[in-house]
Structures are given as C-alpha cells and as structure tokens.
Amino acid sequence: MSESYYYCGFEIKSSFDFPELERSFSTGDVPPISICSGDVKIPDRAELTRGPNWAVGVKEAYWWLDDIAKFRIAADGITVDAMPNAPTGLVRALTLEAPMIIAMQYRDAFCLTVSAVSDGKTVTAFRFLPGGGSSTAAAWQVCRKGPLSIVSDTLLRISSDDSGQPIAWPQGSGVLLWPKSQKLLGLEKHAKLEVRPELPLARFRLEDTRFPLPLKTIYTAALYRRLEASPQDDQNIVQARRPFRFSALRTAGRLWIDPMGRTPQHFAWCLAIARYCKIRTASFEGLYD
Amino acid sequence: METCWLASYPKSGNTWFRIFLANLLFPNVAPVDPNNLPISNLIASARAPFQEIFGFSSSLLTSEESARLRPSIDAFIARDWSGQVCLRKAHDAYTTLPDGRPLMGGPPQFRAIYLLRDPWDVAVSAANHWDLSIEETVNRMCNEQHKHHHAHDINEQFPQHLLSWSQHAQSWLNSPLEVCLIRYEEMHSDAMRAFGKAVKFLGLEYDDKDIGTAIQASEFNRLQRLESDEGFIETPRTNTTFFRKGIQGEGLSILTPGQLTRLRRERAIVEQVIQDLDDHS
C-alpha cells in the first residue's frame, strides 16, 4: 500500500505514513520520490566518499544514524532500514532531512537551510545559527504580523523559472517549535504533532503557502557577523557576492554535492540566487515589532 | 590534523588568547578585528557544524544522543582543517560518554592548552556575563553537577558539562591528553612567558619579537576601547561588556568572606593537583 504526500515541491510515494505531511500542494510535473522499507547494507566501495555517517557516490548514497536507521538513497527513491526499537517519529523526521536532501540533490534540486514565509507574492527567508530561532522568527511573522504564511521551516527548495528568477517551493511539513517558543507565540493549545516522546519539541501546522513563489530576501541575524559585517568591500566590488557566498555555504547537504559530481549545477544554482536575492541583517526590532 | 583544545572555565581569558593567536598568525592584518578574527571561532559545543556534517538538525536528538556524536564532528573538522593549527575553544569539562569514550577526544589526536584563572575573579566576571548574582555564580562554580542545559529549549550551543570550578580544572589536568597549563594572571604579569609557553606548545615557530608584537596588538585596554566603540559579537547583553576589567584580585574585595572561603577551597584542590603533577613530572 503506497500513500502520496507533498514535500519540497516533490510527490513522495511512501509505503509508510507521514502524518507530518499533506497532499494538497502544487508539485508541477516531476516524477515522485519513493520511500520504502528494506534491508540496507553499507558497502565498502572505494568510489564512495565517506563522512562520519554517510557514504556518497555519483548515483547512490548511504546515510545512517547508529541504533536508529540506515538509508540507501538514489534519484528515484529512498530505502529505509529502521532498527526495531527506533522511535518512529524520529525515523520519519530524519527521512525528511538528510536522505531527502540527498535524493533531491541527485535530481539537481538544491535547498537552503532556512525558515521562510510569504505574503502570497514573494518569499522572505530567515537563517540564524542552528538553534538560534529561525523557526520562531518565521512563526512569529505568521502568528503575530500576518497576513503571511509559512513556506519552510528547515529546508527551502529553490529552482529557477524561465527567466532565471529563483522560485521557492513550500516545504509542507509545518514548523518545529520548543515549549518556550510555543508559549511566546500563544500556541500552547494549538493542535500539534509530537516528534518523539523523549523531547518537548512539537510540530505545528500554521497557515501554509501552497504554491511556489519568487524568493526575494534572506535575513540573517547579527550573530552572522563573519558573513554579514565584513563586506563593505563586497558591496563595492560585486553586489551579488554575499548572496552567492551565503547560498554556497548554507546549501543543505553541501558536503555531498562534490562527491555526487553536481558541483557545476550547484554553482549555477548559487549564481541564480546571487543575481536576484538580497541578503539583509535582521534586527530584533524589525523581526519582533 | 591534530586538534589542540583551548580549554577553560568560562571567563578565564579564552577569547583574549585567541585574539593574541590571531595577531601572531596574521601580522599583516594586526591588530585584528575581534569581531572578525582571521582564525576559527568554532567552540566545541557549537551546534552549527553538526547540521553541516551530519546533514540533519541536532534538535531532533536528546542532549545525550547529540553528545555521543560530538567526537565524530571534532574528528571530521580536524580532518579537513586547513589552517596552521587546529586550535578550538572549549568550555566543557573533560568528561566521558556513557560508552566510556572521552567527549573531547583522546591522545595523540587531541591535546590541550588549559587556561586557569583565580576563581574569585572568574566569579565576578561570570556573574556579569551570566546575569546572575555573585552568590548564584559561586553556587554554580561549587556545584559538582553543574552544566549549561536547556531541557525545554534550545540555543546555538549543546549543553556544556562544566561541573564545579575545581572539577573542571581537574578533569583537564588529569586527563590523558598532553596539557599545557597557562595562568590568566601570568598572561597579565608576564605575558611574554605565558604566551611564549603556549606558542611553543603549539609547535609554532615564532621568535620573541613576533610574540611581543602580537601581545602588544592584543592589549586588554585596546580590546575594551574597541568593544566600547564598535561592540563585540560575544557580549551577552546590550547593557554590559565582555572585556570588562581584566584586573587581578578584583574578586577578593567584592566577594563576601563566606564566598571567598568556598572558592579558596576550590582553588586549593586545583593547586594540589598541579603540585602533584609537577612532583610526578
């Protein structure tokens, strides 16, 4: 039995349930990515480039988390080999991160690790340090400022239209929030989905954007001084250098792109973002006024 | 490449030392901008490399699960390090994971410079940094179980196991790593000797003139002026400063006799460990 879900502009055909995903988003005409259960053995082949929990080649990759699950990933789909006692919510959440990032990269589809919102016409993204409150910032815009809607929480897939304009695809998996943020946003009584029983982190479905829209601006926090502050000279030389550097560094799964042989495609993707998008430093007042 | 931890209890001169090292390694841009150091600012407890190296958000894991993966991050970072020396800031104590592996790695891939500062001065500085009273700060420094932890929240760093002030120092000094002890007070009173010892330990080939120039470029007064004029990225709140006073013995006149007694006890434990190590060597 196979169910269809939407994720980052793709249709997922999965042999197990994804309660965190929905179906009613626009995907265009792209072949689905399959997700199924099966045995996965990590091969010891020299052509795979290895990291601490991954082995990536030109056509297939392996990703694992000890005691939780192993994944085999190719362009057409993902095989999941979960350990018997692994928390199912965690296995699902992991599947939607690294293995999906790799599967999308095999299709030359790249994501930024950002939260994002839209006003129905364009998309604005937020990228702070991991753990720095990007999700909260995006949720705040939707809950307190409006009329805005969530585009992404962790992964923002970006493609280009015919003119080269970067197009941001809704992620479609809601927003993950910790209790402090839930309280800040007044969401304590809002419907939520537990990620795993060991953590108070919960997934919320707020107002969603359901169609791809142009990406215009990316906000980073002042914590990003190394990316943000230096570049008086950047602005004087080439205005697009900052967004290029940002997109190159903040591409989800960037360490895997070279071993896959996708560097030229990634370079072109970064250029498209650099040409059309602005990087701005977020101020506390600007975000939370 | 081998990793050298620049380990210390918070507010013990770690940032100051890294500014010195940046001035030493990059004399062409000295005095360096503390807000944009030409050397890595990557603290051992940072979450940022986790997502990049493992490919998923650490917020999906419990703090214990994340801690188990931290040695792999440090090994991966060292593998791809391109600078002259892989020196990384650490405030964690040297502890072991439930499976017996050291959180901060073992020899010979890991070594450490340990910065030690008089605990009464740490208390004054840390109270300001943590926005706590002196009493609360002293309680923390004497708490054997203490760790920066956010059970119902998350921030940019993993929980750091600090333990008590004395246990923090003991954990590093008694660790299996090769450790070079540098006293904060000596960084002030005999900077050439203190910084020179660290430079030698790092295996860097610089002469006294280079070291002296880097010390001069890293003067505490200059860092205070810069923070006042331009701000500093590590300043914890808008109404305080990071490079506060940096003077020796300030805590002796600020802490109560009871607080000083507790910290003198902590200090005595560490001095005994140092004495034992000196006797042994």
Residue ranges of B 200-259 with Cβ closer than 8 A to chain A: 233
A252/B55 Cβ within 8 A: yes
**C-alpha–C-alpha distance, residues B80 and B88, integer Å:** 14
Conformational region of residue B148, where left means phi above 0, alpha means psi within -120 to 50, and beta covers everything else: beta
Domain count, chain B: 1
Do residues A91 and A153 share a domain?
no
Q: What is the pLDDT of residue A27?
A: 75
Do residues A50 and A146 share a domain?
no
| From B48, B53, B153, residue closest to A52, measured CB to CB | B53
Q: What is the pLDDT of residue A234?
A: 45
Instruction: Tell me whether strands A60-65 and A115-118 are parallel, antiparallel or unpaired.
Output: unpaired
Residue A58 main-chain phi, psi, to 5 deg: -70, -35
Do residues A254 and A177 share a domain?
yes
Mean pLDDT per block of 10 residues along chain B (281 residues) reads 94 92 91 81 87 91 92 92 86 95 96 97 91 94 74 72 95 97 95 96 95 92 76 64 75 96 97 93 77
Helix axes B208-217, B14-25, angle to 10 degrees: 130
Do residues A130 and A222 share a domain?
yes
Q: What is the pLDDT of residue A230?
A: 41
Alpha carbon of residue B214 to chain centroid:
19
Report ipTM for this prediction: 0.88
Partner B contacted by A154 (CB < 8 A): yes
Do residues A150 and A259 share a domain?
yes
| pLDDT string in tens for chain A (289-residue length) | 688 999 999 999 999 899 999 887 777 778 999 999 999 999 999 999 999 999 999 999 999 999 999 999 999 999 999 999 999 999 999 999 999 999 999 999 999 999 999 999 999 999 887 777 889 999 999 998 879 999 999 999 999 999 999 999 999 999 999 998 999 999 999 999 999 998 999 999 999 999 999 999 999 875 434 333 443 444 444 567 888 988 999 999 999 999 999 999 999 999 999 999 988 888 777 777 7
Q: A15 lies in which domain range?
A: 3-107
Q: B213 lies in which domain range?
A: 3-280
pTM of the full predicted structure? 0.89
Do residues A177 and A56 share a domain?
no
Number of H helices, E strands in chain A: 10, 19
Find the CATH number of the domain harbouring B13. 3.40.50.300
Query: Which of A107, A129, A162 is the last residue in one of the domains?
Result: A107
Residue type, B148: H
B4-21 per-position pLDDT tens digit: 999 999 999 998 999 999
Query: Which of A54, A84, A107 is the last residue in one of the domains?
Result: A107
Which residues of chain B are within 8 Å of residue A222 when distances are taken between CB atoms? 233
Nearest residue on chain A to B233, judged by CA atoms? A223
- Give the best residue of A63, A65, A88, A196 to mutate against chain B (max B CB count within 10 A): A65
Domain count, chain A: 2
Q: What is the pLDDT of residue B233?
A: 67
Do residues A168 and A102 share a domain?
no
